[in-house]
Amino acid sequence: MIEVIIDGNDNDEFLQEKRPVFDVSSFSAATWKEYRQYAHDFFMTYSDHRIVIVRNSSYNFSNNWFAVALFVESCLTDSKIDAVIFKVKDKSKALKEYAPYVALTIGIKFIINLSQESTACIYKEIGNLGYLGLNIKQDYFADKIYLKLERAKAPLMLVSHDLEQALEIIGFLKAEALSDSDYSFNTEINITKETNSVNVENVIDNIIKKITPILANNS
């Protein structure tokens, strides 16, 4: 798992050493799939380096989405890379804009880890997310878990019918709970007894699909 660092210093150094530079000048990306492909190519190119600098001068390329894609790739791929340094002109502005994407990476990391557990353990952990400020109620007779994230806007309804959908919703909900978004959600998780055969890549893709319009609205 890599560390993403925002750096306002205008040089090719980090920790007083010159680092290799990935220059985003002619790239453009419009979809999550494209950012993941760039992240994969990045890891193939710089796999022998611990720290790599990213410089972006392309209008049609988002540092924030690339950082998320790099983080996901680092969670699912063995690599020597420890940190990616994004060189920016305005560090304060970049950090503020990146904050909700940090929350997203935390949500994704949570479900990557959780997806490796048994079905029963996953649903048990879902019921223990009250520390996020969620209102949680469990209906043991109906095998359901209800989670509410109460904020300014009228609540949107989220319902899971299988384990993969449950992980998708929980990863998304954790990201929202850790952000300063004003969206509210009422969530119904239907507890299943299926064997855990979750495709975590599908789960991540669906989390991204859910959260992209919210991030766009809050930008």
Cα maximum dimension of the chain: 61
Q: Residues 92, 59: contact at Cβ < 8 Å? A: no
178-193 pLDDT tens trace: 999 999 999 999 999 9
55-80 pLDDT, tens digit per residue, is 998 888 999 999 999 999 999 988 89
Edge-first strand listing for the sheet containing 135-139:
135-139, 144-149, 184-190, 155-160
pLDDT value of position 219: 66
Does residue 30 surpass a pLDDT of 90? no
Span 130-143, pLDDT tens digits: 999 999 999 999 99
User: What is the value of pTM for the model shown?
Assistant: 0.95
Rounded to the nearest integer, the mean pLDDT of the chain is: 95
**Which pLDDT value is given to residue 218?**
74
Instruction: Please name the residue that has the structure tokens 């299943």.
Output: 192
